[in-house]
């Protein structure tokens, strides 16, 4: 596919709909201005929410063990916060400026870390699903496996895999100058288009499809196991485990929905002819907003579905007020479920 077409379908520069035209406001199209406002809302909510989750999970009473679930949630929040800080503001310039004005390093880093963050998120969710599966279905053996050291090793492996699998993006993302408009663009260019197609397919399979299949398998086993146990017992611990599994499952479903349009666009652009119309522009903007918003919604999900997190959120603000008064009160860790 030609760079100009990729420019309209991927995450490169675009100044508005490919067809139809629109009124201008503040020097940019109304559609782009609305998109920037949505980005700003996503950025503000995401930074505040993830910073709150990190504060809650990073601070705990001395000697209190960290649950493996909370370690993975902390990793997910760190990845989301880093993505919001390092990617969204730079990507917003795509809708504010006609070309790329941030230089070669930002061009490579922004798109590279975009892919890294996506992979870290799905790999972390996969690890959380396996963790829930071991904790609930194989509870007798879980105490030896579900320890903080193993979770931290898993987090290190997740980041190593994500950094390695995303490296082709940094390699092939580059600045392209177009004399016709006297503009510079940040585009992904591969010497062999077949290699690009292969990479897009691999990213979809290993960074979306297979992890979701693994997660689906784990949660099918978990929910089936809990359903059988809850029919025969009313133990509070089993109900708590089910609530934890449901909370993490909601996070997974939201991730799947948020990133599906992104993968559809990339596969469509590589193996078909992506139309450059008003409707396709709206679809592309929606895909961007969904992908970006995924980094903002998890703290909201925790607040709605986890009573422990709601209490911990309130405790953060209480501690902040006490700190301003010169007092200090360490935060308890909001353990989902051991």
In a domain, 13, yes or no: yes
**Encoding tokens for residue 44?**
């503000």
- DSSP secondary structure, 10-44, as one string: SSS---S-SSS---EETTEEHHHHHHHHHHHHHHH
More confident residue, 251 or 133: 133
Q: In which band, very low, low, confident or very high, does the pLDDT at 9 lie, cut at 50, 70 and 90?
A: very low
C-alpha to C-alpha distances, 243 to 98, 131, 201, 270, 335, nearest whole angstrom: 48, 15, 35, 41, 12
Highest-scoring range by mean pLDDT, 229-233, 234-238, 266-270: 266-270
Tokens of 62: 């001395």
| Domain presence at residue 336 | no
Does residue 333 form part of some domain? no
Is residue 329 assigned to a domain? Answer: no
SS3 for 230-284, per residue?
A: HHHCCCHHHHHHHHHHHHHHHHHHHHHHHHHHHHHHHHHHHHCCCCCCHHHHHHH
Tally of domains within the chain: 1
pLDDT at residue 101 tops 80: yes
| Burial (0-12, 13-18, 19+ Cβ within 10 Å), 233 | exposed
> In 3D, which of 205, 54, 228, 224 has the Cα closest to residue 132?
224
Residue 24 to residue 146: CA distance in whole angstroms: 56
Q: Name the pLDDT band for 306 (thresholds 50, 70, 90).
A: low
Per-residue confidence (pLDDT) for residue 112, from 0 to 100: 93
Tens of pLDDT, residues 120-149: 989 998 998 898 888 888 877 777 777 888
Burial of 268 (0-12, 13-18, 19+ CB in 10 A): middle
Over residues 36-47, mean pLDDT: 89
pLDDT digits (tens, 9 = 90+) for 309-326: 666 656 655 554 444 444
pLDDT at 91 over 90: no
Q: Is 303 helix (H, G, I), strand (E, B) or coil?
A: helix
pLDDT of residue 17: 45
The residue with greater pLDDT, 5 or 107, is 107
Coil, helix or strand at residue 186: strand
Q: Which domain holds residue 136?
A: 3-324
- pLDDT recorded at residue 326: 47
Q: Is residue 332 part of a domain?
A: no
CATH number of the domain at 139, please: 1.20.1070.10
Residues whose CB falls within 8 Å of the CB of residue 1, separated by 6 or more in sequence, listed in order:
193, 269, 270
Is residue 63 a part of any domain in this protein?
yes
173 lies in a domain?
yes
At 19, give phi and psi (nearest 5°).
Answer: -145, 155
Residue 47 lies in a domain: yes
């Amino acid at each position: 596919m030609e760079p100009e077409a990729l420019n309209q379908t991927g995450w490169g520069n675009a100044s508005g709909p490919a067809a139809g035209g629109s009124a201008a406001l503040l020097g940019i199209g109304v559609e782009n201005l609305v998109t920037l406002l949505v980005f700003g809302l996503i950025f503000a909510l995401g930074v505040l929410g993830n910073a709150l989750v990190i504060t809650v999970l990073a601070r705990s009473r001395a000697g209190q063990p960290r649950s493996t679930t909370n370690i993975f949630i902390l990793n997910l929040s760190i990845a989301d916060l880093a993505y919001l800080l390092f990617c969204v503001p730079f990507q917003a310039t795509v809708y504010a400026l006609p070309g790329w004005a941030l230089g070669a390093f930002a061009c490579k880093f922004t798109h590279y870390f975009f892919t890294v963050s996506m992979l870290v998120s799905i790999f972390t969710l996969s690890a959380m699903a396996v963790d829930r599966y071991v904790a609930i279905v194989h509870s007798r053996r879980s105490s030896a496996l579900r320890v903080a050291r193993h979770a931290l090793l898993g987090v290190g492996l997740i980041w190593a895999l994500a950094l390695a699998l995303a490296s082709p993006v940094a390699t092939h993302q580059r600045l392209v100058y177009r004399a016709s408009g006297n503009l510079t663009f940040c585009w992904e260019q591969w010497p062999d288009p077949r290699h690009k197609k292969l990479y897009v397919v691999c990213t979809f399979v290993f960074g979306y499809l297979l992890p979701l299949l693994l997660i689906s398998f784990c949660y099918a086993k978990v929910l089936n196991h809990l359903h059988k146990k809850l029919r025969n017992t009313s133990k509070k611990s089993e109900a708590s485990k089910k609530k934890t599994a449901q909370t993490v499952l909601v996070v997974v479903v939201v991730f799947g929905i948020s990133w599906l349009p992104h993968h559809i666009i990339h596969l469509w652009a590589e193996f078909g002819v992506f139309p450059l119309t008003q409707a396709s522009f709206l679809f592309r903007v929606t895909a961007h907003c969904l992908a970006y918003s995924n980094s903002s919604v998890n703290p909201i999900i925790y607040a709605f579905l986890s009573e422990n997190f709601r209490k911990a959120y309130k405790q953060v603000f209480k501690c902040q007020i006490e700190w301003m008064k010169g007092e200090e009160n360490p935060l308890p860790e909001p353990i989902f479920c051991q």
